[in-house]
A = this chain, B = another copy of it.
């Protein structure tokens, strides 16, 4: 199967560059099952990293265009490349094949491994977003805490070992002082660090890598002939088959203001 990993950021235009895109594609290919080909696709405009709700919103229109392009080029499934699952409901509306969100896939998997899972992410400011994602996935009842190591995504990518230490400390604290029995790493950069695999061993409790949870869910859906439900994610009425999604938006010459 062909799998597209869809980055909400123009990573090739940031400090991380195409090299990091290649590294991630390589890891995805290594983690994938036999027969899965992986393409990492980046938008032409968007936030360098998602640290707020508004940045998520900035990314989504361009992600929609890349998704349609990936499907036109034969992608059998798409994984959203950000743990905030930015625009997952909207992307699923305009997709014709499975779109998988790593928060959704990672938390649903974690829910089955114990009684209570917690999420460790980069910055506390995304906590409300992550709680909402747990609610939307339907697993809020199994979510314990959302904790943050307060490192920027860039810091994580720049000093892997320091980031790993901060992660381990927070995960250990959760396991020792709360009812948490399972952990989900709440950031794709953490996932590509290999942190989950090391932490699972170091801590003796399952630490879910959301990249791999999403990858394997996409593979499973493809093998099973399933996709997200069209009855949950309706095709926009204005969008006829074959239309570019540009048809959904009107263009004016400029904005307009009227004062009563």
* Residues of chain A at the chain B interface (Cβ within 8 Å): 9-14, 18, 21-22, 25-26, 28-29, 31, 33-35, 37-48, 51-62, 64, 66, 69, 87, 89-91, 93-94, 100-101, 104-105, 108-109, 111-116, 123, 125, 127-129, 131-132, 135-143, 152, 175, 179-182, 196-197, 200-201, 204-206, 208-209, 212-213, 216-217, 219-220, 223-238, 245, 248-260
Can you list 24 residue pairs at the A/B interface with Cβ under 8 Å?
A10-B256, A13-B252, A22-B260, A37-B260, A39-B259, A40-B258, A41-B255, A41-B257, A42-B252, A46-B249, A47-B250, A51-B237, A52-B234, A54-B90, A54-B94, A55-B236, A55-B249, A57-B90, A112-B228, A138-B143, A180-B231, A181-B231, A197-B225, A213-B224
Q: Which residues of B contact A255 (CB under 8 A)?
A: 10, 41-44, 62, 66, 69
Q: Which residues of B contact A131 (CB under 8 A)?
A: 115
A141 to B141, CA, bound (A): 8
A204 to B257, CA, bound (A): 32
Q: A114-B231, A201-B225, A216-B220 are in contact. List 4 more A-B contacts (CB 8 A).
A: A47-B250, A57-B60, A57-B61, A57-B64
Task: With A45-B250, A248-B55 as known contacts, state yes or no: A205 contacts B224, CB within 8 Å.
Answer: no
Interchain CB contact under 8 A, B128 and A252:
no
Q: Which residues of B contact A257 (CB under 8 A)?
A: 39-42
Q: Contact partner of A54 among B64, B250, B256, CB < 8 A? A: B64
A61 to B54, CA, bound (A): 8
Please give the distance in Å from A257's CB to the nearest CB on chain B. 5
Task: With A51-B237, A217-B109, A226-B113 as known contacts, state yes or no: A41 contacts B200, CB within 8 Å.
Answer: no
Interchain CB contact under 8 A, B251 and A25:
no
Interchain CB contact under 8 A, A90 and B13:
no
Interchain CB contact under 8 A, A229 and B205:
yes
Chain B residue with minimal CB distance to A94? B54
